[in-house]
Amino acid sequence: MIIASATSGPDAHQEWWRGAVIYQIYPRSFADTHGDGIGDLKGITAHLDHMASLGVDAVWISPFYPSPMKDFGYDVADYCDVDPVFGTLDDFDALLAKAHGLGLKVILDQVWSHTSDQHPWFQASRQDRTNAFADWYVWADAKADGSPPNNWQSVFGGPGWTWDARRGQYYQHNFLAQQPQLNGRHPAVQEALLAVGKFWLDRGVDGFRLDAVNFMIGDPGLRDNPPLPPGGKRTRPFDFQYKIHNQSHPDILAFLKRVRALTDSYGDRFTVAEVAGDLAAREMKAYTAGDRHLNSAYGFLYLYAERLTGERVKAGAEMWPGEPNEGWPSWTFSNHDAPRAVTRWAEGRDERQLAEMLLLLLVCLRGNVFVYYGEELGLPQGEVPFERLVDPEAVANWPQTLGRDGARTPMPWKADAPFAGFSTVEPWLPIDARHPALAVDVQEADPTSMLHATRRILALRRAHPALKTGDMTVLTTEPLLSFSREGDDESLLAVFNLGHEPQTWVQPEGYSIIDAVYRGEAGTLPPLGGVLLRKQVI
């Protein structure tokens, strides 16, 4: 039995973000008003009413800053402006004002581990070894034979070092060669990044999602990473190493305290870390501990999982048991970096049924909920032919992985409009042939649609405080996943059949059903069935 408590931390029931539902927007793929096939800020603003109607508390917008788009916005060339393809700062201010008018908070991505190689900081740093920006990035001399300084590998494949003839040194990059690694421990770099945060906080944003935060600082001695034992799926050289020196340095914690001090100085702001890698569970706990680090963190427990099991849900509860001074978790089943969950986990089952069950399960977990655009429609992973792939990871690993492009295809708004109402011209990624039938206008007209189910399920968070901030106790994992959520004034029980066969299940005495998906006949719970019950007060 695993018990996770929500009582740790100061003012556990006061912060707007604790237990919030946050809708993630990938701006290139949301709505195009410029007529260039790429989504933009005005497109987001035009559909804020849609997000508000879902019942979410906030929107998280992936990067829209000036960028060469080698990694589609996660290679930032200017942290304090808007790329013309997305619009202008005035467009952002209008977006923010409308969102706030609708009661929606706005969270921005901050990519502070690395920049674009076109960022002025790097352009200055690479000129020589004595300029004011010389140490703003991780530079190192070649070995005696001219090879890179160590064995660190890039996430996207190949060595994590690129030679620069002007300096006569290698620069480090954990991702693309066009994404040089910032020297996150340098005082001037930290001051510059905090100034970026202040710029957006001054404009009124409500918080930040910190991208790849555990890559911000590595080992100053540049020691080699040790090899991992044989076994497991490996599609990149990166997968062969235990990444203990190119990331995860303890000095990251001191910088996160500075970030928290900045956001706290603006009042009720929210910070969430993205943490991936071999040490993710430990790092998420460290990065959110007490009241001086970040508010929340999420990792890839579900995002890269090929199967959804009760044991995996149990592992998440064990990761965040609610100990004193523990941070607060966030959970997501899909995002811009992973294939959509309904495709990963369908295993031949009905994707529509799976989508509804997954959303009910996600809402019942203890922690914040991230809903990725299109999940409210039950969108499957988009099919993108090789000749239309643009994601560097997808191209490099094709056809061994589904890649990220299929999770980034355009949002379908109108079934009968050109390009499903996303744009008036051919979009940057193709519209999957299955998606127009799932468009927003079609589902709005169908009271049995996934869109209407989404509104019903998300409303449970506001109607039942135990779901928002209550304790979680995992009762069983197989053949049925069951757990309780306990709040001050209510006791809830959630039961799910994650398998392929019907399972015997009898509604317990003293409980009434408050929501159910594919409940089936009395005495059984069919595959992909889920039930949420409330203990009756006598």
Q: Which residues are registered as beta bridge partners of 331?
A: 369
| β-pairing verdict for 139-140 and 511-517 | unpaired
**Token pair 């004193």 in the structure block, residue:** 324
Which is catalytic among the residues 40, 83, 274, 351?
Answer: 274
Predicted TM-score (pTM) of the model is 0.96
The Cα 90–Cα 79 span in angstroms is: 16
Which is catalytic among the residues 57, 71, 211, 432?
Answer: 211
Percent of the chain with pLDDT over 70: 97
Residue spans per domain, the chain: 16-115+208-218+273-458, 116-207+219-272, 469-535
**Token pair 């005082």 in the structure block, residue:** 187
Rounded mean pLDDT, 380-397: 90
116-207+219-272 shares its CATH topology with 469-535: no
Q: How confident is the model at residue 11 (pLDDT cuts 50, 70, 90)?
A: very low
User: Homologous superfamily of 116-207+219-272 in CATH?
Assistant: Oligo-1,6-glucosidase; Domain 2 (3.90.400.10)
Asked if pLDDT for residue 191 goes beyond 60, the answer is yes
Asked if pLDDT for residue 107 goes beyond 90, the answer is yes
Model pLDDT, residue 161: 98
Kindly report, residue by residue over 259-306, the tens digit of the pLDDT: 999 999 999 999 999 999 888 999 999 999 999 999 999 999 999 999
**Token pair 């911000």 in the structure block, residue:** 216
CATH class of domain segment(s) 469-535: mainly beta
Q: Which residues are registered as beta bridge partners of 512?
A: 534
The Cα 189–Cα 179 span in angstroms is: 16
Buried b / exposed e along 236-254 (16+ C-beta atoms within 10 A): bebeebebbbbbbbeebee
What's the mean per-residue pLDDT of the chain?
95
Beta strands in 204-266 (DSSP E): 207-210
* 211: annotated active-site residue: yes
Kindly report, residue by residue over 465-513, the tens digit of the pLDDT: 999 999 999 999 999 999 999 998 899 999 999 999 999 999 999 999 9
| β-pairing verdict for 169-172 and 139-140 | antiparallel
Kindly report, residue by residue over 201-251, the tens digit of the pLDDT: 999 999 999 999 999 999 999 999 999 998 887 888 999 999 999 999 999
Kindly report, residue by residue over 396-455, the tens digit of the pLDDT: 778 777 789 999 999 999 999 999 999 999 999 999 999 999 999 999 999 999 999 999
The Cα 456–Cα 461 span in angstroms is: 10
CATH architecture of 16-115+208-218+273-458: Alpha-Beta Barrel (3.20)
* 488: annotated active-site residue: no
Kindly report, residue by residue over 13-41, the tens digit of the pLDDT: 479 999 999 999 999 999 999 999 999 99
The Cα 406–Cα 408 span in angstroms is: 5
Model pLDDT, residue 4: 53
The Cα 376–Cα 516 span in angstroms is: 17
